[in-house]
Structure 1
């Protein structure tokens, strides 16, 4: 998966170094709080229960996401906090992040569906990865969202 100048890493939150935690939280705040002008508790206390995917390009955090095991998220694996730094958008990094997250979910929890809460305008992005809407649109932090699910890769 790595391309020249790229480093991809899965890590538990407690295994991240201080700089990695800072870069992760800064990227998510830049995207979800600053760019989207949305004041909300981005640091929600759930990071220690998740596995984190970090993609660095030339030493800079370019994208990240977190994944929760089914037992930590109510019966289905859950992907969240998918973020790509502005400077790295438009080259397919978001799709590569999602493909890697789904690879991990399929490998670790093949009998589990995968859930996520998508900003409504990104439903087609997630649809390209096999997700379908399972709720009507609702407001979360004044942004329209929709719950989406991808069926388990193997029958339970």
Structure 2
């Protein structure tokens, strides 16, 4: 079971910021072999959901209120450390993120840009595909919506 911490950018400590950037880089850049600009000046507007196992950050998302990323509220940078995925932490961090959007932003409709190979995972969380798939940073994605 993850211990969840939710903070705005200005509330993050330097070690928390380092840990989330390290985890994102570890998975999105190194594991997925994708060269892209992760540090994109959007973190400052985001609400950050950090999932800890003990003192180690093993899961993370960032949330946006409507208009800050998409027209709807959104969840992005969904990541779980490779060696922790067997614990289904992806579901826990997403469920906490969905709850946080309701609690912090008073929103129910959520849009995501999902990697296509994770489509079933997001379907299981109530997201439905909208439109056609597209390439984003060399990886096939699809827009999905949860009402």
TM-score by length of 2: 0.94
Matched with 1:128 is: 124
Distance 1:72 1:139 in 2: 22
Where in structure 1 are there 5+ consecutive unaligned residues? Answer: 152-156
Q: Is 1:73 aligned to 2:69, yes or no? A: yes
Q: Shift of the alpha carbon at 1:142? A: 1.1
Evaluate the alpha carbon distance shift between residue 36 and residue 111 of structure 1 in structure 2; reply closer, same or farther with a 3 A threshold.
closer
The 3 A distance-change label for structure 1 pair 107 and 137 is: same
| Alignment deviations for residues 67-126 of structure 1 (CA, whole Å, 9 cap, x no partner) | 001132343100000000112111110000110111112234445410000000101100
Equivalent position SS for 1:45 = coil
Write the distance in 2 (CA, Å) between the matches of 1:94 and 1:147. Answer: 18
2:70–2:111 Cα contact (<8 Å) kept? no
TM alignment of 1:5-154, pairs within 5 A: 6-151=2-147
The 1:111–1:58 alpha-carbon spacing in structure 2 relative to 1, beyond 3 Å, is closer
| Consecutive unaligned residues in structure 2, runs of 5 or more | none
Whichever structure has more strand as a proportion of its residues is: 2
User: Counterparts of 1:108 and 1:19 in 2: how far apart (Å)?
Assistant: 24
Give the TM-score normalised by the residue count of structure 1: 0.89
Alignment correspondent of 1:154: none
CA RMSD in angstroms comes to 1.3
Contact 2:61 2:75 in 1 (8 A): yes
Partners of 1:138 and 1:59 in 2: how far apart? 37
Aligned residue pairs total 147
